[in-house]
Copies of this chain bind each other. A is one copy, B any other.
Amino acid sequence: MSIDRLKAKIARHYGTPALVIDLDVVERNIARAQSLCDEAGIAIRPHIKTHKSPVIAAMQRDAGARGITCQKLGEAEVMAEGGLDDILITYNILGEEKLGRLGKLLSHATVTVAADNPTTIEGLPKAAAIAGRPLNVVVECDSGRKRAGVETPEEAIRLAQSIDAAPGLSFAGFVFYPPDKTVESSQSFLDQTVAGVRALGLEPRILSSGGTPNLRTLQSFAGITEHRAGTYVFNDRMMMAQGMVDLEDCALHVFATVVSRAAPERGILDSGSKTLTADTGAGLDGFGLIREYPQARIAGFSEEHGMLDLSRSNDRPPVGTVVRIVPNHVCVVVNMFDRYIMVRGTDLLGDLPIPARGKIA
């Protein structure tokens, strides 16, 4: 089938906007990340926040991944329900409602959670008590990104001790989310922290780094046992802008229709901020790359309108044209859809639900 026939078929069967993934490219991306980690002697623990599908998580597992990473408890629940196990939740889980759910999850899956403060560690034994088995806890460390995570090795060591001392908790190691460009400060943080806990008789089983861009610098962060990455499974315009991948490595496109062409230099796509999101992809120009009209700029949004600036584009799509868009940031766009349309090249396979979509709690 030609690409034009595929577009027509998807528009006819499913309508647009449609979230289309090419499983050939997905499999290639999974294999490449797996082999980068294999070469570095580090396990990969894919972050499912990108795809939110137990089916795709199982593809990553079957390719050799060690468990999975989730950001929110609700994502982990969906993954366990879908048959995944060995789940790392890199988030501070707090409050009675979540601790009850965590206890239930722990009773039928192997779960590790992160903590970066004493309040979190105080609450976690409740989950272990509900499950009647120990809960693995890693300490989240900041290394320059200033997100979650303790800022000094001393704090990290102190929290490791608290975890070890808490009833029902098992100290499991440390997670880092190092900055994209350098791992120097992360290395010194890691070394001091590991030496500190070993001096106390504690052994960190997990030393985890993260980020798709860091897949190319795995070997420079010495001592790491596993790596969390999400975006690599699909890739996006942000990864292309960082020189990580080429267009042919982008497994996901939003298929959209031009619904209005009120003037020669502008048009409207049926995909606005409720589809492509207002995520700029760390400051990219425009809100996505249109494969068929690379000079056309997605200049702005209403909720259901994508504003096309065609002033730099010689070739201009008439109303009714279906186009393929590489999103700026694929993880947030997947979260706007309830299903994937799966293809291989130009062959249409069918659709796949996205059950962890919207699991923000």
Contacts and interface: CB of A to CB of B under 8 A. Distances in A.
Interface of A: 11-18, 49, 71-72, 91-92, 94-98, 101, 116-117, 119-120, 142, 146-151, 257, 259-263, 266, 268, 270-271, 273-275, 277-280, 302-305, 307, 318-320, 331-332, 335-338, 357-358, 360-361
B92 A259 contact: yes
A12 B49 contact: no
Contacts of A331: 303
Most buried by B among A96, A97, A150, A271: A97
Contacts of A273: 277, 279, 332
B303 A11 contact: no
Given A15-B97, A120-B319, A358-B358, 7 more contacts: A18-B361, A91-B270, A94-B270, A117-B319, A146-B307, A274-B335, A338-B358
A71 B304 contact: yes
A14 B97 contact: yes
A15 B359 CA distance: 12
A13 to B, nearest CB: 7
The 6 closest A-B pairs by CB, nearest first: A15-B97, A92-B259, A119-B319, A148-B260, A278-B278, A71-B304
B96 A151 contact: no
Chain A residues touching B, majority SS = loop
Q: How many copies does the complex hold?
A: 2
10 contacts: A11-B95, A15-B95, A49-B303, A72-B304, A91-B304, A146-B263, A147-B305, A148-B305, A149-B262, A273-B279
A301 to B, nearest CB: 9
B95 A16 contact: yes
Contacts of A92: 259-260, 268, 319
Given A17-B360, A278-B280, A303-B332, A97 B262 contact: no
Contacts of A336: 335, 358, 360
Contacts of A318: 119
Given A119-B318, A148-B268, A268-B147, A274 B15 contact: no
A98 B13 CA distance: 10
Contacts of A357: 358
Contacts of A149: 260, 262
B91 A259 contact: yes
Nearest to A142: B262
Contacts of A259: 91-92, 94, 120, 148
A101 to B, nearest CB: 8
Nearest to A73: B15
Nearest to A304: B71
A272 to B, nearest CB: 8
A201 to B, nearest CB: 26
A275 B147 contact: no
Nearest to A266: B146
Contacts of A72: 304
B151 A320 contact: no
B360 A302 contact: no
Contact of A303 (B71, B278, B305, B338): B71
Most buried by B among A96, A120, A147, A261: A147
A275 B359 CA distance: 10
A219 B101 CA distance: 54
Most buried by B among A17, A92, A148, A150: A148
